[in-house]
Amino acid sequence: MKKQEAPSLAVDAPCSQQTPPSKGWLYGILGALFLSNSGTALQLAAQAWFVWSISHRPAMVGLLGLVQATPLLGVPLLGGLLADRFPRQRLLFVTQGCLALLATLMGSLALAGLLSLSLTLVCAGVLASVSALDNPVRQVYLPGVVGIDQRKRVVGLNALTYNVGAIVGPALAGLFLPLVGVGWCFLLNALSYLAVIAWLLTGPVASPRSVHIQQEQGSQKRGARHNLASTCSALMLVAVVSLLGRSYPTVLSIVVSRTWSGGAQTYGLLAALPGVGAALAAIIVVWLLGQRQRAHSPWIGGVLLGIALTCVGMARSLVFAGGALLVTGGLATATMTLLNANIQKTVPNEIRGRVMSLYTWLAAGMPMLGGWLLGTLMERFSPQNMLVISGIALIVGTLLISGQKTGNQLTHTLLERAIHNDQDA
């Protein structure tokens, strides 16, 4: 008797009954997202350096991370709920427009000399709140308007635009901060959001509708439970990798200043190196996803990322630190991109917004929370030692979650074989 394969939960249509977008439009919106991501990275780097330059206290840089992380405790969940209830294109119009206005306000205040430390923290918190609402919608918009066979590749391309933007943004910060100051950096970010708004005007309206296929009893329900367990394990790894392996950029300005006595240009260069590694890794991951091969790299990547972060903490020269940061950025991106693609593949379109809001909550909130913890601890302990501890903790956490996932898979396989043998008997 031939064993029936348990179907995936992700059985859906791109959106409504509309024609999938053309390749030209798809590459155009990806280019617009690249500009927006570059502007966001530029602003975040400028904000961190501005707070450090006017306070010279690691705790204040950590507080900036906490202020940016606080909205992520609940706002992404609201964004995911809205993405599953309303047209996602229109939601992006609202969020991108609000982000442009907030960046314009901060830039104008900075140019007028009115941007104080407390006002910077308040504006950063409001900006983080709107971004937290925007992120889940952006995560599911493009996968929702393309075919199922293109979804994982689109997720990889979206990650590529993000990580290439992570190169350009800090590099521009290192260039513009000493030349024109933080005000113009914020205004350039405001302009970058307009590119996304303009391109959305020509795009399809992404509806959260999907084709519903009635689930049968038996093996199909067991397959659904297995997919849910796999998604939960993936989300646990997202939390650990984001908290321990992706929080270092928030405190990188402290490490650059205290360990290597660097200035804004050194900071901009070292902040851009993880982005270079991230872009290279994203290109490789896009190719792997296009091969339609099942990858186990997220779990291996978590361990390797911990090792690379430990090397950053142990670095005694800028050259070695730069190389370690390059590898760290690549491993972090490869791990997160594969986790993103796997999660989006295992959930149906009508609840993808809410599931991806959890992903956004963890992927964006945990690094900021980790940045606050690192900044606070660096008030009393060596910055490099704290990075070493973070790397070791990441290795241990990844191995624990991987062991749990392996146990769940083994149990599922044994149960399926037992049921199959009973049916044959």
pLDDT tens per residue, range 375-422: 888 888 888 888 899 999 999 999 988 776 554 554 444 445 544 554
Q: Taking residues 15-23, report their average pLDDT.
A: 58
With bands split at pLDDT 50, 70 and 90, how would you rate the model's confidence at 163?
Answer: low
Residue with tokens 């490490």: 255
Q: How confident is the model at residue 17 (pLDDT cuts 50, 70, 90)?
A: very low
pLDDT beyond 60 at 212: no
pLDDT per residue as tens digits for the range 240-284: 999 999 888 877 878 887 777 777 777 778 877 887 888 788 788
pLDDT recorded at residue 56: 82
Average pLDDT over residues 195-215: 63
Confidence (pLDDT) at 41: 83
CA distance 99 to 105: 10
- Beta carbons of 213 and 13 less than 8 angstroms apart: no
pLDDT at 6 over 50: no
* pLDDT tens sequence across 111-146: 998 888 999 999 999 999 998 888 888 878 887 777
What span, in angstroms and rounded, lies between the C-alpha atoms of 232 and 95?
Answer: 28
Among 201-205, 242-246, 326-330, the least confident range: 201-205
- Nearest CA-CA partner of 370 in 387, 348, 384, 395: 387
pLDDT at position 223: 41
Q: How far apart are CA 410 and CA 408, in angstroms?
A: 5
Helix or strand holding residue 363 (H, E): helix 349-377
Q: Is the CB of residue 87 less than 8 Å from the CB of residue 205?
A: yes
Residue whose C-alpha is closest to residue 329's, from 167, 152, 154:
167
pTM score: 0.67
| Residue 348 φ/ψ region, left for φ over 0, alpha for ψ in the -120 to 50 degree band, beta for the rest | beta
Q: How high is the pLDDT of residue 211?
A: 38
Q: What is the pLDDT of residue 102?
A: 94
The string of pLDDT tens digits covering residues 348-382 is 766 777 788 788 778 877 887 888 888 888 888 88
Rounded CA-CA distance 131/102 in Å is 11
pLDDT in tens, 73-112: 778 888 888 888 888 888 999 999 999 999 999 999 999 9
Which architecture does CATH list for 23-209+218-424? Answer: Up-down Bundle (1.20)
Q: What is the pLDDT of residues 27-73, one digit of tens each?
A: 888 889 889 988 988 898 889 888 888 888 878 887 887 888 788 77
* Three-state SS at 298: helix
Domain ranges of the chain: 23-209+218-424
